[in-house]
Amino acid sequence: MTTRDPSQLVSWLYLDMNSFFASVEQEMNPALRGRPVAVVPLLSDSTCCIAVSYEGKAFGIKTGTNVGEARRLCPQMKFIEGDHANYIRYHNKIVEAVESCVPVEAVCSIDEMACRLTGYQQDLKAAEALAVKIKATIKNTVGSSLKCSVGLGPNRYLAKIAGDMKKPDGFTVIRPCDLPGILYQLKLRDLPGVGARMEERLHKKEIFTLEKLCSMTAKELEQAWGSVCGEEIWHLLRGEQLQEKLTTQRSISHSHVLPPELRNRQGAMRILKKLTDKAAIRLRQEGFFASGIQIHVRFIGADSWKARCTLMETQDTLAFIHAIKTLWKELPSGQVFAVGIAMTGLVPEAFHAPSLFEDQRRSKLIKTLDQLNEKFGKDVLHYGATHESAGLVPLRIAFTRIPDADEA
């Protein structure tokens, strides 16, 4: 029996669809294949491109380019008003194709997913063969226009970095023995979690290269980041798994027994909205995104009911409230006694892959609201959707967790 060399093993496969929305349009309309295509939210020169085919990118056009500017750079560009229903339909087909090869551990966004490798799959040759099989399966069962880049790595974070290193239709491996040198060729902005503001912060700390960043201690990186996320990234860049955070925290939940006057559908929803708001605040405070939500209801007479749905990874309170309102439509008849909410599929911020659907301005607004409530007192500001629920749920002590004193 041969002993496997840990320095050669990979534990994660990360798949990133290339120019996904534009590729879907090319797949649906063969006349668009090989042509520069841009997907836009509406047909107007004042808006921007939300996806660009690689034929269009050759002209210097990228996601976020103003449509008027894109038209100037590439007069022959074909602009398509996006239809998200089509993209979700193709997303589901791609997940099914990947699942036929290897289980999908996490759907990170509409065009990205991560797969945990186990047993013989961790051997480099087996993992490489699996990547080839996944690419072929997508091409043969979903569409020849749909290409993806695949990364292999010792943890999910590095597998994602590997997947970003060669596009389109790329394949890159980062083994433990390749670290940290293989990262030195990258820019700071190539690291998931490093945007323009974080890059500026790191520059102020005299950190300009990955080589410099990798040479720092975990404590120094935490101080540079201004949060524990810096220490987490220190471990991730060394190929380590964040086992404790990934395995011990499975969900964030709150529940509440209704007062007699609210034991009806309308009153129960008011309480459920407040519980959802509380759980979303905790989610953000603890540094997670959620990819699923579950509600449970207990009726007088001990009967109970549960409903759940998956989400694109989010921290957005309003997205969660929209989800529970949709699930609530299936609530059976009966007098409600207690309600609860659980946010599931938790993903640490360091692993979060932003979606094209994300509104960065709204994300910033949510965090600003949290900061103001923390400074001036709970419910100083709240969402219109939870206005009717303010003050309804008093602080409770749970068996599994002692809540912070400032929680609403």
Per-residue model confidence as pLDDT tens digits over 306-360: 999 988 888 889 899 999 999 999 999 999 989 999 999 888 877 776 655 555 5
Is 195 strand, coil or helix?
coil
pLDDT score for 374:
58
223 and 256 in a single domain? The answer is: no
CA of 294: how far to CAs of 39, 290, 322, 331, in Å?
Answer: 33, 11, 13, 13
Structure tokens at 200: 């500026």
256 and 206 in a single domain? The answer is: no
Query: What's 208's domain CATH number?
Result: 1.10.150.20
pLDDT digits (tens, 9 = 90+) for 252-311: 988 888 888 899 999 999 999 999 999 998 998 888 889 899 999 999 877 899 999 988
254 and 314 in a single domain? The answer is: yes
Half-sphere exposure of 283 (CA within 13 A, CB side): 31
- Domain limits for position 209: 182-245
Distance, CA of 47 to CA of 359 (rounded, Å): 15
Distance, CA of 184 to CA of 206 (rounded, Å): 16
Q: Which of 112, 232, 313, 349 is catalytic?
A: 112
Report the percentage of the chain scoring pLDDT > 90: 58
pLDDT score for 376:
52
Q: Is residue 99 among the annotated active site residues?
A: no
133 and 39 in a single domain? The answer is: yes
Query: What's 30's domain CATH number?
Result: 3.30.70.270
108 and 192 in a single domain? The answer is: no
Residue where one domain finishes, among candidates 176, 196, 224: 176
125 and 112 in a single domain? The answer is: yes
Q: Is 179 exposed, middle or buried (0-12, 13-18, 19+ CB in 10 A)?
A: middle
CA of 30: how far to CAs of 26, 140, 141, in Å?
Answer: 6, 16, 16
Pairing status of strand 288-299 against strand 251-257: unpaired
pTM: 0.66
Distance, CA of 349 to CA of 98 (rounded, Å): 24
Residues facing residue 254 across a β-bridge:
341
Higher-scoring residue by pLDDT: 1, 303: 303
How many domains are contained in the chain?
3
What letter would DSSP give residue 302?
Answer: S
Distance, CA of 89 to CA of 76 (rounded, Å): 28
- 405 confidence band (pLDDT: 50, 70, 90): very low
Hey, what amino acid is at 83?
D
219, 224, 227, 230: CA torsion to nearest 10 = -60
Whether 98 is in a domain gets the answer: yes
223 and 275 in a single domain? The answer is: no
118 and 44 in a single domain? The answer is: yes
Residue where one domain finishes, among candidates 190, 218, 245: 245
Whether 271 is in a domain gets the answer: yes
162 and 96 in a single domain? The answer is: yes
33 and 93 in a single domain? The answer is: yes
Residues facing residue 230 across a β-bridge:
none
255 and 351 in a single domain? The answer is: yes
166 and 195 in a single domain? The answer is: no
